[in-house]
Amino acid sequence: MRFGGDYGITDRLTIGGGRSSYEKEYDAFLKYRLLWQSTGKKNMPVSLSLLASATVKTLDATGGEKIKTSSGDYYYTFQALLARKFSSNFSMQLMPTVIRDNSVSENLYSIGVGARLKLTKRSGIIAEYYYQLPGYKLPGTYNSFSLGYEIETGGHVFQMILSNSFGITDRTFITQTQDKWSLNQLHFGFNISRVFNFNRSKNTEQKTNAGPAWVDSSNNNTAQNNKGLVQATFKTSRLINGHTVETTQGGVLDLKVTHRFGKLNDGFYNLFGLDYASMRLGLDYGITDRLTIGAGRSTGGKVNSEKEYDGFIKYRLLWQSNGERPMPVSLSVLSSVILSTAKNAVSDSVKRNASDRYYFAYEVILARKFSEAFSLQLMPTMIHYNIVPTEDIPNDLLSVGASARIKLSKRSSLNLEYYYQLPGHKLAGTTNSFGIGYEIETGGHVFQLQFTNSTGMTERSFITETDGRWKDGDIHFGFNIARVFTIKKPRNNIQ
């Protein structure tokens, strides 16, 4: 992972920096746009930007922290970025590059080429290739090639990528790619770019690739509104860790990407937990406006340990409404199954008994949207363990959750979530899960930033197996991304 920020000094001059978990690198760059493609009185056929960057790695050969960096830990990159937008659908650029590798005291030369093919108003295919010139290539390395899909929604740009490169800084992915472009050596990843305008007095098109106007992605077809159904009690079907009362609109596919990082008290060397991550990738699909099914795969409650698979079914039994037959609340019921594929510590194989690996969750979600600014829900929950650690612990663990959403602006809100485990129905050494988050919606995207004492992303792992304590600094930073895709046009009737 790399976490970075770029800032536009002017429309042509950008500075930026970042921190990567790979070899614990820090980087900084300066970019200047020398030429700008234009038509009119002064016709310019291409754009040209110049880039200079520096990178330092702080990981020593044994995996420990370097007390003092040496000249061999520094790398420098110089690039000329020559680009042309041939049409509204196709752009291309060339990137002659020189990287100064102080570890081998050499200059390494390469030429990159990148392209973007627009598919729709908001999406496109992107590709990138770097060819290392003969005689300027490190032994055992390959040319970097990446292929991706880009989605833009307002201030967000979200890119999903397949690449044979593991590194993220210039020197690691251009000169140190050690994998071939083959199915068993490809890396899947994604980039998220979010812009914030600090100078609203300026109205320039250059500040960002501004996307389409904001669109409400909640269930909002005309027939539903005519029936007085209350829309968008919550903006997505998951709030921080747990489900909300919302179901996915019929015919819509909802892609969920969830990340949880290490603890904030891991210290500066591990960038306060950002060097460690657990992740869930899931898909939800609306069979009807009231019925949703979904499945996902996560690394589990402990970082990179459990490798869980989960599936669920959710049905919206009651829908808050203000019509002829008013309904004061919404009510959804949820049933899910979780499969843990953790290996046996002795045999290094999957647990011997298949039944040991299954967990089941049952939840009733009762919610009310009190106003446009405030929504609240309660979630009585039962988690069934086929196997429990000790005989004095029941197989059915009971808890009650509460979630709230406080709207801050048309596109953003503050989210809160808490699960209280009932006495006598709690695993030893665990604590109650609590999370606080900030949510941003831009069209088909919902992006949530949060802090929580839980690392797990399935009901059993974050409700019943959280062991972090807020007072001890066992707080995890994380984010959720929800992106909807319309598979089937909605019908004009409520189901």
Contact 240, 258 (CB under 8 A): no
Range of the domain at 471: 222-486
Q: What is the pLDDT of residue 295?
A: 96
Whether 46 shows a pLDDT value over 90: the answer reads yes
105 within domain boundaries: yes
Q: What is the pLDDT of residue 259?
A: 85
495 within domain boundaries: no
Beta-bridge mates of residue 449 = 438, 479
Contact 324, 226 (CB under 8 A): no
Most confident of 2-16, 199-213, 340-354: 2-16
Same domain, 395 and 425: yes
Same domain, 195 and 341: no
pTM, rounded to two decimals: 0.75
31 within domain boundaries: yes
245 within domain boundaries: yes
The domain boundary, picked from 157, 175, 207, lies at 207
Whether 214 shows a pLDDT value over 70: the answer reads no
Mean model confidence pLDDT for the chain:
85
Same domain, 196 and 256: no
Q: Distance from CA of residue 383 to its chain's centroid?
A: 27
- Residues 6 or more apart whose Cβ sits within 8 Å of residue 141: 132, 175, 176, 177, 178
Q: What is the pLDDT of residue 407?
A: 94
Same domain, 301 and 424: yes
pLDDT in tens, 52-72: 999 998 877 665 555 556 777
Same domain, 421 and 308: yes
**Confidence grade of residue 193 (pLDDT, cut at 50, 70, 90):** confident
Going by C-alpha positions, the residue among 238, 97, 230 that lies closest to residue 170 is 97
Same domain, 245 and 114: no
Provide the CATH number for the domain around residue 176: 2.40.160.40
493 within domain boundaries: no
DSSP state of 423: T
pLDDT in tens, 330-366: 999 999 999 988 765 555 444 556 777 889 999 999 9
Whether 302 shows a pLDDT value over 90: the answer reads no
Q: What is the arithmetic mean of pLDDT over 422-451? A: 88
Same domain, 163 and 35: yes
Beta-bridge mates of residue 451 = 436, 477
- Residues 6 or more apart whose Cβ sits within 8 Å of residue 67: none
- Residues 6 or more apart whose Cβ sits within 8 Å of residue 376: 367, 368, 370, 402, 403, 404, 405
Considering the chain, what percentage of its residues have pLDDT values greater than 90?
51
Whether 465 shows a pLDDT value over 60: the answer reads yes
Q: How many domains does the chain have?
A: 2
The domain boundary, picked from 207, 230, 250, lies at 207
Same domain, 157 and 24: yes
Whether 204 shows a pLDDT value over 60: the answer reads no
Contact 493, 222 (CB under 8 A): no
In 205-324, the DSSP E strands lie at: 252-263, 277-286, 291-298, 308-318
Same domain, 268 and 242: yes
385 within domain boundaries: yes
DSSP state of 272: G
Same domain, 199 and 74: yes
pLDDT in tens, 255-283: 898 888 877 777 777 776 677 778 888 99
Q: Which residues of 322-352 are buried (b: 16+ CB within 10 A; e: fewer)?
A: eeeeebebbbbebebbbbbebeeeeeeeeee
Q: What is the pLDDT of residue 442?
A: 72
217 within domain boundaries: no
pLDDT in tens, 238-256: 999 999 999 999 999 998 9
Distance CA 252, CA 257 (A): 16
20 within domain boundaries: yes
Same domain, 203 and 228: no
Q: Which helix (H) or strand (E) holds 189?
A: strand 187-194
Same domain, 461 and 315: yes
Beta-bridge mates of residue 402 = 378, 418
